[in-house]
Chain A
Amino acid sequence: MERDTLLGLYDDMWLIRAFEQGLEREFEQGNVPGMLHTGLGQEATQAALAAHLDATDCFFPDHRCHGINALAQHRHRGDGERIMAELFGRSTGVCGGKGGSLHSADPTVGNYGDNAVEGSYMATVLGVALAAQLRGEPKVACAIIGDGTVGRGEFHESLNMAAIWKLPVLYACVNNGYAISMPVGDGHASADIIDLAKGYGFECRQVDGNDIVESHRAVGDAVAHIRAGEGPYFLELKTWRWQGIFAGEFRPAEEVKYWREEHDPILMADEVLESMGVDAAAREAIESAQRARIEEWIAFAKKSPPPDLAKATADVYVGWEVAGR
């Protein structure tokens, strides 16, 4: 990988980490309503995907998706702060505050919206892909799923239908080891999701999702395969989430230590950059710049007004008005 490419991805990973850590702080202070599922520890998977998906492609973000949402918004429209504002439930958010953490969407950057019902969009992605196929558009329709999502019946329905119709779907399975608290190997017939995907007969690959170099290359290969009209592609990115469960950390101390101190995607990228001659000071400058950016985004969200109450019943239907209180 070229040094500049890696520096760009490193910058993106810091944007995600700073975003999630800033958000976590605000959540703990009671400034962010609802629930919080961060993508901390999974930055490389999101940066790799965002790097290869154009605004004219489509992605359905997963349950820990703030990072890729913010990255896509920042890259394609220069207004990543609107993802932050959405999480604060403000009128300036990408969905005017109606969607929040698990329903942020902006199709102009390729973000077709997350769905808090895990795996639901595994079925929806088929339609976006089918429309592209029927129209002859070179669009990639990407469903970013977690390992837990694989327990849903839509996993089978979707992979099967994508296979028989050779749809341009990229299944990016971010396997972070746990579905809520259930270890992936306890919840599925294999801890390697790729084993479950292989039966559908299309291209499957598994990579270390914390290795940004490897992940970036793998996503690039998958996207090229789909754009060439070769049909669907299943990519498993193995990673680990920093966040425990609502009750706190539940995983063995040595496991936590390994993933946070020895196999952290940013620390791994630090080592590669160091070998390329990018010193610690240069890397810290990247981190500082992203942390400063995120503070600006948080400030923007906090000073944004809440939605007009008339919006509460707006857009239920296209063809009918719904009465307010």
Chain B
Amino acid sequence: MSRTSFTKALNDALDIGLERFPEMFLIGEDIGEMGGDFAVTRDLWAKYGADRVRDTPLSEAAIVGTCVGAAVVGMRPVAEIMFADFLGECYDQIVNNAAKLHYMFDGQFTAPLVIRTACGGGFGGGPHHSQSVEGWFLNVPGIVIVAPSNPADAKGLLLASIESDDPVLFLEHKALYRARGEVPEGHFTTPLGTAVVAREGTDITVVATMRMVAMALAAAEELEAEGISVEVVDLRTIRPYDADTVLRSVAKTGRAVVANEAPRIGGLGAELSARIHEECFSDLAAPVGRVDALDAPIPFSVPLEHEILPQPAHVTAAIRTTLEAVR
């Protein structure tokens, strides 16, 4: 164990992957000598060379297409799409090729690729550098969406994604890059498709992703002083998600809030809320609450952005509202 940043944990995972898997390569814009926009690939170009840490022109469709083609013939490509907002440029490759080819070609191909991308707002990035895009992919069978909240999971989930035979969209929230935490040394994997109870509690469950996990944990801490016991479930994988862990927790607490940074309509909160209502209806003491972004693009001006994105106070308020609600 050592205290490591989220960025360094990702860098270690890529380093270990490149060392272990000769068929693995990295591909993306400015990831070579420059080490990537967020320094996730720092020093890997010098260590593994330009063939395996491959710089590209600004061609997102070709980057992901290259990954798909290489993956079907047995390579393990890991792409970096600098900002998640740019996934629109390669949406077809992800949705119509990577996610479907195992199915539509009757299992003859697999697409063991990873698309890492920096998502999320809160830093004045403006409308095209701040979005949470999980909802864009939530409705796509065949894709795996991974969303770590802390450095240890970032490393373990990235190694698991590299080793997965399914295509993985790996979301890295920009606000988490500098987060620090204890991370095991060397190779380990955190299983995809598994949520974790980040804090045990008995009165209410908060299911959270990425940056919202820290907000949920802070809210739990704050409310504990008032005698309210909050259980926090870190979803970790958004698709396919770990319904068992979520439903077990809600069955125990009888109340739930889903906290996600993306806009509300058609998002993760909608799916989880519906699922919880369907499967835990008799256990629920109140309707499921949701914390998410307002239904608008993300503006540049900091106070406006702050208004749009979910803030810690929104999580606390949603917990209180859900606790006070009655059937």
Contact = CB atoms under 8 A, between A and B. Distances in A.
A318 B66 contact: no
B193 interface: yes
A135 B240 CA distance: 34
Given A98-B103, A120-B96, A127 B72 contact: yes
Interface string B81-111: 0000000000011001100011111111110
B51 to A, nearest CB: 6
A39 to B, nearest CB: 21
Contact of B65 (A105, A124, A164, A317): A124
A315 B96 contact: no
B297 interface: no
B166 A161 contact: no
A127 B25 CA distance: 11
B77 interface: yes
A314 B107 contact: yes
A143 to B, nearest CB: 10
A318 B108 contact: no
A73 to B, nearest CB: 13
Interface stretch (B35-43, B53-61, B123-131, B269-277): B53-61
B103 A315 contact: yes
A122 interface: yes
A95 B102 CA distance: 10
A98 B100 CA distance: 11
Nearest to A321: B240
A315 B61 CA distance: 25
Contact of A98 (B56, B73, B106, B166): B106
A158 B96 contact: no
Contact of A319 (B25, B74, B165): B165
A124 B66 CA distance: 5
Interface in B14-51: 25, 51
Interface size class of B (residues with CB under 8 A): 35 or more
A161 B141 contact: no
Contacts of B72: 107, 112, 124, 127-128
B217 interface: no
Contacts of B165: 318-319
B238 interface: no
Contacts of B97: 115, 120-121, 124
Given A130-B69, A318-B102, A160 B74 contact: no
A316 B142 contact: yes
B250 interface: no
- Looking at A58, A122, A126, which has the most chain B CB atoms within 10 Å of its CB? A126
- Looking at A122, A311, A319, which has the most chain B CB atoms within 10 Å of its CB? A319
Contact of A120 (B73, B93, B164, B193): B93
Contacts of A125: 65, 69
A128 B69 contact: yes
B108 A161 contact: no
B193 A130 contact: no
Contacts of B92: 117, 120
A153 B64 CA distance: 14
A258 interface: no
Give the 4 A-B residue pairs with the shortest CB-CB distance, closest first.
Answer: A123-B65, A127-B69, A127-B70, A157-B62
Contacts of B77: 127
B77 to A, nearest CB: 7
Given A120-B93, A316-B142, A127 B65 contact: yes
A315 B105 CA distance: 9
A306 interface: no
A134 interface: yes
Given A105-B108, A161-B62, A318-B166, A127 B102 contact: no
Contacts of A94: 106
A154 B62 contact: yes
Given A117-B92, A130-B66, A131-B73, A319 B103 contact: no
A109 to B, nearest CB: 11
A107 B104 contact: no
